[in-house]
Amino acid sequence: MQSSISLSISSSSLAPLGSNSATDFAHFAPINLRFCGLRREALGFSSLKHSDSKRVHISAGSSSRRKVFAALSGNGSPSKFDYDLLIIGAGVGGHGAALHAVEKGLKTAIVEGDVVGGTCVNRGCVPSKALLAVSGRMRELQNEHHLKALGLQVSAAGYDRQGVADHANNLASKIRNNLTNSMKALGVDILTGVGTILGPQKVQIGSSDKIVTAKDIIIATGSVPFVPKGIEVDGKTVITSDHALKLEFVPEWIAIVGSGYIGLEFSDVYTALGSEVTFIEALDQLMPGFDPEIGKLAQRVLINPRKIDYHTGVFASKITPAKDGKPVTIELIDAKTKKLKDTLEVDAALIATGRAPFTNGLGLENINVATQRGFIPVDERMRVIDANGKMVPHVYCIGDANGKMMLAHAASAQGISVVEQVTGRDHVLNHLSIPAACFTHPEISMVGLTEPQAREKAQKEGFEVSVAKTSFKANTKALAENEGEGLAKLIYRPDNGEILGVHIFGLHAADLIHEASNAIALGTRIQDIKLAVHAHPTLSEVLDELFKSAKVEAHVPSAVSEPIAV
């Protein structure tokens, strides 16, 4: 049974928070306040499981709080480990796991050999969104037809390259500091150095003799850009996304190898800033990871009208950086015959061929774990599997390092799931409920299965698949913004109303997808979500109309509790 905690908090313990009336605050602030969006643990409060007879004195200081947790863990006996949970890697996944672990009362440390925030914050989704924010503004200011339709007149738009680069770098620094400060405020120990697993529940920090023990270990080391053989990266004219985010120069003509999320987003940035782009895609169609219908529409809007051409069905077998006045040269071979097909000369080349797990040097051999193409094998609960197919006790792996779903928010969700398990609640994450987004202009988002995937599954399992669609052209808010180009697509089972997948292309698609992803996560059926009310006029009505247009054969109640009349 969990009951409320009686707290006695001195004004001196709150003084470091900068309050001028700490005594009054301590007397009147209820424990369940969110404090302007901060987790209450950031101010030294936390929920503890204990008997009704216990009263606990907790100061705002993190060391005092950890002592309380240590005293109450293990039925009152001191822990034989330095930490309850040790996380190797302080990216978004590790950070999410650490915060949830503290909320659950675990003494937690996180090991980082580079910088807090990992790829997403420092070399990925955060700085790229800063660049995409610029490209979005540039597109608006350059679109005379769009502005004229709104009755606006704007003189020619320009940009300062260094100013744009500084915006991306400053955003990354701000978010990195936020993550660091949030962990410190919650009492998470940040251990600097590369973490190497020496054996069960034992990790060496850096090259020193410092060894820490932990009851449970989470590996969250992320990934690095994947560069195929034959491509020479010099960081100047042949670059990866790590280099491109620094925006050290804007080439007149840049080839982008790969047309997935990374390639598409950078094509949006470069064309908005004046570059010509050439896509090089090994498969027969652009955007191979997207639902084909959405990909076809996106190509018509994002590629065809812009200064972009493309080569499909070819590999970039050799790329040589520019030097001695010569341009970057790219040799293209046919993906099937492997014969030389063409040679391109461009000002720069961006390698956007995906990412590879960063798992070398972790000491996996010390726990008999063999990687698979670099990925650490795990089961559905993120428990690490050894070379004999057996579970390694107390070791988990989340995020890009396990390869299940290489998205920052998926890593965080996996980390939270692991913490739930180590604190006594079994939890299996439904990866089909995790959304993904491409932040082009307009955006693309998706959750669940594509239509081909759904039909393949239906054929194997013996059920029917139906598809519903709605257009942004029928949405009042989209038309008010003069942004009617877009489509939402629902893939579902007509026999029971199960949502199999939702795909959106259009204004703010990345924000709209979460209604669908939450419905999949909660098991909500179409017949129930049809009854939800959406504010008018909003873009959310695109989803409202989408669900209402679906035809479900019979009402099958979903696992949702009965509503209460108020």
Question: Closest Cα to residue 112, out of 234, 182, 10, 206?
Answer: 206
Angle at 335 between CA 332 and CA 341, to 5 degrees: 35
For 6, the enclosing helix (H) or strand (E) is none
Residue 256 sits at φ, ψ, to 5 deg, of -115, 115
Give pLDDT tens digits along the chain (566 positions).
444 333 333 333 333 333 333 333 333 333 333 333 333 333 344 433 333 333 334 334 444 444 444 444 443 445 799 999 999 999 999 999 999 999 999 999 999 988 999 999 999 999 999 999 999 999 999 888 888 889 988 888 899 999 999 999 999 999 999 999 999 999 999 999 999 999 989 999 997 789 999 999 999 999 999 999 999 999 999 999 999 999 999 999 999 999 999 999 999 999 999 999 999 999 999 999 999 999 999 999 999 999 999 999 999 999 999 999 999 999 999 999 999 999 999 999 999 999 999 999 999 999 999 999 999 999 999 999 999 999 999 999 999 999 999 999 999 999 999 999 999 999 999 999 999 999 999 999 999 999 999 999 999 999 999 999 999 999 999 999 999 999 999 999 999 999 999 999 999 999 999 999 999 999 999 999 999 999 999 999 999 999 999 999 866 555 544 444 54
Report the chain's terminal Cα–Cα distance, integer Å.
29
Residue 419 burial (10 A CB sphere; 0-12, 13-18, 19+): buried
Distance CA 50, CA 63 (A): 20
DSSP 81: S
Residue 87 burial (10 A CB sphere; 0-12, 13-18, 19+): buried
Torsion of CA 456, 457, 459, 465, to 10 degrees: -90
Whether 49 has a binding-site annotation, put simply, is no
Whether 281 has a binding-site annotation, put simply, is yes
Whether 501 has a binding-site annotation, put simply, is no
Whether 150 has a binding-site annotation, put simply, is no
Residues with a catalytic annotation lie at 536
Question: Closest Cα to residue 265, out of 241, 283, 297?
Answer: 241
Q: Give all domains of the chain, ordered by start, each with its CATH number.
A: 83-224+356-423 (3.50.50.60), 238-353 (3.50.50.60), 432-549 (3.30.390.30)
Q: What is the pTM of this model?
A: 0.84
Whether 12 has a binding-site annotation, put simply, is no
For 96, the enclosing helix (H) or strand (E) is helix 92-103
Angle at 435 between CA 557 and CA 228, to 5 degrees: 145
Whether 407 has a binding-site annotation, put simply, is yes
Whether 198 has a binding-site annotation, put simply, is no
